[in-house]
């Protein structure tokens, strides 16, 4: 899959922390940022306001080498903002409604390549405008789809999730999200088996916090990875996004399941050691690239 393009659709916003720090965020943006640092150039489709936050996002993307051609500017709606409060070291979010990313317009999107992997979540389709745009993208290029559930109440419903799963190849979610979208089954294995039996999924990646993550495949090749006991936690914002970015990297580079899981967990463990979901320190990423290149050569 090395020649495939990754398209990232969804929100870009500022996470505003209790200490006054404002950090660039949004799950799709975080994934796109990480992939850019890992040498992949994703096409990031989103929308910002004609305001200072929007200008900051454009500058950050330009400085990071990201493609701005698919980032729209909204003259009526403001750049997205989320107030983040940490309770027992877990993030809780107050998400401002009617943000620019709710109004992504299909007519303003440049041509997209057919041979693509499309990553999306759930938040950016809370508004009809962006929801319609996402469906138009799918119809226009028929991409392979990586669905990162990212449930944020009250911006989702079960019918919508089930509709999205009908054309999903890779599904990533956490234990709480799994129980919410398969409420009628009693345990993890039954819920996973139900999803595979009803939807055309190739892989389900279940993140489990301190317990690590488990990757389930449609042909019953299941693997679990646990984080190192020495992991230092500053905050857990963006850990799932970090994990996701390496899963996508593994798909592109044809890594085997075990290698992909190990590297995804390594990177997610590093992200929880910093505040916020991304880093603008290139050496932070280069260390992983060097390690993974050496590991790839060692494994033949």
Angle at 282 between CA 26 and CA 300, to 5 degrees: 100
Structure tokens at 202: 């190739």
Q: What would the pLDDT profile of 56-67 be if each residue is shown by its tens digit?
A: 999 999 999 999
- The yes-or-no verdict on residue 284 having pLDDT over 70 is yes
User: What was the pLDDT predicted at 37?
Assistant: 95
Confidence band for 79, pLDDT divided at 50, 70 and 90: very high
Q: Considering only 18-27, 99-108, 239-248, which range has the smallest mean pLDDT?
A: 18-27
d(CA 135, CA 131): 7
Decide: pTM greater than 0.75. Answer: yes
Residue whose C-alpha is closest to residue 1's, from 280, 255, 300:
255
Residue whose C-alpha is closest to residue 13's, from 64, 54, 72:
54
Burial, 83: exposed, middle or buried (Cβ in 10 Å; 0-12, 13-18, 19+)?
Answer: middle
Tell me the average pLDDT across 283-296: 82
Q: What would the pLDDT profile of 226-257 be if each residue is shown by its tens digit?
A: 887 666 777 777 889 999 999 999 999 999 99
User: What was the pLDDT predicted at 258?
Assistant: 92
User: What was the pLDDT predicted at 300?
Assistant: 37
Determine contact, residues 183/196, Cβ cutoff 8 Å. no
Look up tokens 């796109």; give the residue.
32
User: What was the pLDDT predicted at 148?
Assistant: 97
Q: Where are the domains of the chain?
A: 5-298
Per DSSP, what are the bridge partners of residue 75?
none
Which helix (H) or strand (E) segment holds residue 120: the answer is strand 116-120
Tell me the average pLDDT across 72-81: 97
- The yes-or-no verdict on residue 192 having pLDDT over 50 is yes
Q: Which residues 6+ apart lie within 8 Å of 108 measured at CB?
A: 72
User: What was the pLDDT predicted at 85?
Assistant: 81
Q: Considering only 70-79, 241-250, 278-287, which range has the smallest mean pLDDT?
A: 278-287
Tell me the average pLDDT across 37-49: 96
Residue whose C-alpha is closest to residue 174's, from 140, 205, 219:
205
The arrangement of secondary structure in 5-298, i.e. its CATH architecture, is 3-Layer(aba) Sandwich (3.40)
Q: Considering only 11-20, 23-32, 72-81, 132-141, which range has the smallest mean pLDDT?
A: 11-20
Tell me the average pLDDT across 156-166: 96
Residue whose C-alpha is closest to residue 81's, from 148, 131, 9, 17:
17
- The yes-or-no verdict on residue 178 having pLDDT over 70 is yes
Confidence band for 295, pLDDT divided at 50, 70 and 90: low
First-to-last alpha carbon distance for the chain, in angstroms, is 19
User: What was the pLDDT predicted at 2?
Assistant: 59
């Amino acid at each position: 899959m090395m020649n495939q393009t990754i398209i990232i659709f969804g929100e870009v916003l500022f996470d505003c922390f209790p200490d006054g720090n404002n950090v660039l965020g949004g799950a799709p943006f975080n994934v796109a940022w990480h992939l850019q640092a890992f040498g992949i150039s994703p096409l990031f489709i989103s929308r910002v306001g004609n305001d200072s936050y929007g200008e900051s996002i454009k500058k950050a993307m330009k400085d990071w080498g990201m493609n701005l051609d698919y980032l729209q500017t909204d003259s009526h709606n403001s750049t997205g903002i989320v107030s983040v409060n940490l309770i027992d070291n877990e993030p809780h979010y107050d998400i401002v409604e009617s943000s620019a990313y709710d109004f992504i317009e299909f007519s303003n999107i440049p041509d997209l390549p057919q041979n693509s992997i499309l990553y999306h979540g759930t938040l950016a389709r809370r508004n009809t405008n962006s929801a319609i745009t996402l469906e138009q993208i799918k119809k226009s290029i028929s991409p392979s789809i990586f669905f990162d559930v990212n449930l944020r109440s009250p911006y989702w419903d079960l019918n919508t999730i089930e509709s999205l799963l009908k054309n999903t190849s890779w599904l990533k979610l956490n234990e709480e999200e799994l129980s919410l979208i398969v409420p009628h089954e009693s345990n993890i294995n039954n819920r996973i088996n139900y999803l595979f039996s009803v939807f055309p999924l190739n892989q389900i990646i279940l993140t489990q916090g301190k317990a690590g993550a488990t990757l389930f495949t449609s042909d019953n090749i299941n693997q679990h990875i646990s984080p190192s006991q020495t992991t230092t936690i500053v905050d857990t914002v963006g850990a799932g996004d970090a994990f996701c970015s390496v899963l996508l990297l593994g798909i592109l580079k044809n890594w085997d399941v075990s290698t992909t899981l190990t590297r995804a967990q390594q990177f997610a463990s590093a992200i929880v050691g910093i505040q916020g979901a991304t880093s603008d320190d290139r050496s932070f990423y280069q260390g992983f690239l060097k390690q993974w290149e050496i590991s790839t050569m060692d494994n033949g």
